[in-house]
Amino acid sequence: MPIKSLFIERDLVRGRRILNSWAFVKRLSSDEADIIARMIAQGIAEGRRSGFELAEAELPTVGKKRLGEMKDRLGAKS
């Protein structure tokens, strides 16, 4: 089953920074490191999406419109 990509480029950069801070990275091939960085980026994006969903459930109607604008500015694909 294909995994839908939710992350944006900024998440991938952050994932690579996190990965590079770990000592065992030097033992990984570049392909393995890329896969792990993408997994980290996916986790960051899923956390952001969950946060948006929680905020939508808690905010009144006016806040939901503002939240939609914030999502659009991020440019994330959901």
Q: Express each pLDDT in 8-57 by its tens digit.
A: 888 889 999 999 898 888 888 989 999 999 999 999 989 888 888 887 77
Q: Is residue 10 included in any domain, yes or no?
A: no
**What secondary structure does DSSP assign to 2-68, as a single string?**
PPPP---HHHHHHHHHHHHTSGGGGGS-HHHHHHHHHHHHHHHHHHHHHHHHHHHHHS-HHHHHHHH
Residue 68 has pLDDT above 80, yes or no: no
Q: HSE (CB half, 13 Å, CA atoms) of 60?
A: 1
User: In which band, very low, low, confident or very high, does the pLDDT at 78 lie, cut at 50, 70 and 90?
Assistant: very low
C-beta separation of 6 from 42 below 8 A:
yes
Q: Is residue 20 included in any domain, yes or no?
A: no
Q: Is residue 12 included in any domain, yes or no?
A: no
Q: Is residue 43 included in any domain, yes or no?
A: yes
Q: Is residue 8 included in any domain, yes or no?
A: no
Higher-confidence residue of 8 and 76: namely: 8
Give pTM, 2 decimals: 0.65
Range of the domain at 66: 29-73
The total domain count for the chain is: 1
Q: Is residue 5 included in any domain, yes or no?
A: no
